[in-house]
Amino acid sequence: MLKPNAVKAKLRDGQEVYGLFCSIPAPALVEIIGCAGYDFVILDSEHTLVDPEGLENLIRAAEAVGMTPFVRVPESDAGAILRALDAGAMGVVVPHIRSRADVNAAIRAARYAPEGMRSLNGGRVPGFGLIDLTEYVRLANEEVMVVTMIEDAEGVDALPEILAGGGIDLVLEGAADLSQSYGVTWRTRHPKVTDALHRMQTVCAEHRVPYCAIPRASEDHAAWRKRGVTAFVLGEERGLVARALRGHLDERRTKDGDTA
């Protein structure tokens, strides 16, 4: 059932929020992320095959531990936005935003009239009747976040126009695809990419739209904080798990070797 969006409230109050991408469609893993203390999780349905019922259960798992669930939808897929929100997502992360037209399409799918034209529905988000449907429409437009991913050179250049139209709650950087867009694939710390990220954050600050960074080193986190950034995605659970497993094994092998 729809509840106040804690992440949106914290950002409005200038507090820091931390999130994680989750690509493994396992409710228990979502619970672990929430119990670890993350403010939000971005459930990936862009690069991950997850069925509608499975996605709804991932959202339930986040709700159960008090973590705000967002869903990254496939590019230019209004139907995916609708299904994610009807399942209970508190926001949609829309990838590859390159123009104001892309934002307008996302807002039309994510918000009810008069801001958009999201298809009306009942079900779990109004609590199966616990929230009056007309009141739910008003609350959903207030609490559900539209998060735009800027991960193309065109999007960086068009960002002033993109933000000028309003309706965006958070801008999330996408340095990986940006690197490809600038011809330096996977070199996410290349000067072309870091310059684009800095330009994006500056434009966001000028338009008073929160910017979400993805620090790839501890010094990145400190640098973004100095620039006034308060929203962070600290990577993806697959990478964290893989590094932890390798580190655990390497540590044991080293200790066993020293003992021997």
Q: Are the C-beta atoms of residues 102 and 94 closer than 8 Å to each other?
A: yes
- The amino acid at residue 86 is D
Which candidate, 58, 60, 42, places its Cα nearest to that of 50? 58
Asked whether the beta carbons of 40 and 17 are under 8 A apart, the reply is yes
The residues, any chain, with a CB within 8 Å of residue 34's CB and separated by 6 or more, are: 41, 61, 62, 64, 65, 66, 67
d(CA 144, CA 128): 18
For residues 110 and 118, the answer to whether their CB atoms sit within 8 Å is: yes
Annotated catalytic residue, options 47, 96, 190, 198? 47
- 47 as an active site residue: the answer is yes
Sign of the dihedral defined by the CA atoms of residues 211, 212, 217, 221, in that order? positive
Cα radius of gyration (the chain): 19
- In sequence order, what DSSP letters do the residues of 48-63 get, joined into one string? S---HHHHHHHHHHHH
Active site residues: 47
